């Protein structure tokens, strides 16, 4: 599998979290998307959780945008917040129809522990951290999904539901979107202090771990223990 060849600070970020990415692509949820062995009940569970996640991810992007030092970055992140709700929700809604899920069922369902923990961390990072930290926290969702999509696209899936998911994240349009965010990250890092970069790295690695946990949560169909 060809991995990103990034220089600059994003190259450092990728190197720091690459072991996590390797665990992600080996996870049975992810490999099951490609070989078609993933239990559809687990995928259904994941899609419902992801609908909640996307709303909070969009919220984190908007908060990050409010701290951006450049007008074009404010516009870009707010557009991504809107896009994550519109484009990706359209994809999820097609799955909701496939699984016979109603809007009320989606809205009334409580998020799983990992979903709540991950999204709470995103919002906390966006609210309490500098723009550089907020951007670092949301970056793994962009980047890891792109690289997972590309890795799975090389193999394809016998399950049309899973192939639809793969196609969405392996698309040229999505890759261009991620590349532009990476460029912003590198530019931000050029003007960051050593301490700021340390905090950025910590945020990035933490949410990379949450990405693994999110797929694992879906695979286990995680429930509250009490």
Catalytic positions are 141, 211
CB 126 within 8 A of CB 134: yes
Place of tokens 């994003």: 10
Helices (H), 36-159: 40-67, 71-99, 103-108, 113-128, 131-153
- CA 135/CA 139 separation, integer angstroms: 6
Name the nearest CA neighbour of 44 among 101, 84, 108.
101
């Amino acid at each position: 599998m060809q991995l990103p060849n990034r220089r600059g600070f994003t190259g450092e970020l990728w190197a720091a979290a690459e072991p996590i990415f390797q665990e992600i692509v080996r996870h049975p949820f992810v490999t099951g998307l490609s070989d078609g062995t993933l239990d559809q009940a687990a995928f259904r569970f994941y899609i419902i959780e992801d609908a909640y996640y996307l709303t909070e991810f969009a919220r984190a992007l908007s908060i990050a945008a409010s701290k951006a030092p450049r007008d074009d970055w404010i516009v870009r992140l707010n557009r991504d917040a809107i896009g994550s709700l519109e484009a990706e929700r359209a994809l999820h809604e097609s799955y909701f129809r496939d699984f016979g899920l109603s809007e009320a069922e989606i809205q009334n369902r409580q998020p799983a522990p990992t979903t709540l923990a991950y999204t709470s961390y995103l919002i906390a990072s966006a609210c309490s951290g500098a723009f550089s930290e907020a951007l670092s926290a949301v970056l793994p969702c962009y980047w890891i999904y792109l690289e997972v999509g590309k890795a799975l696209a090389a193999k394809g899936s016998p399950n049309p539901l899973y192939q639809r998911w793969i196609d969405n994240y392996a698309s040229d349009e999505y890759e261009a979107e991620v590349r532009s965010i990476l460029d912003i990250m590198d530019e931000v890092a050029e003007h960051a202090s050593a301490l700021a970069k340390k905090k950025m790295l910590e945020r990035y690695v933490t949410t990379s771990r949450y990405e693994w946990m999110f797929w694992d949560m879906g695979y286990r169909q995680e429930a509250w223990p009490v």
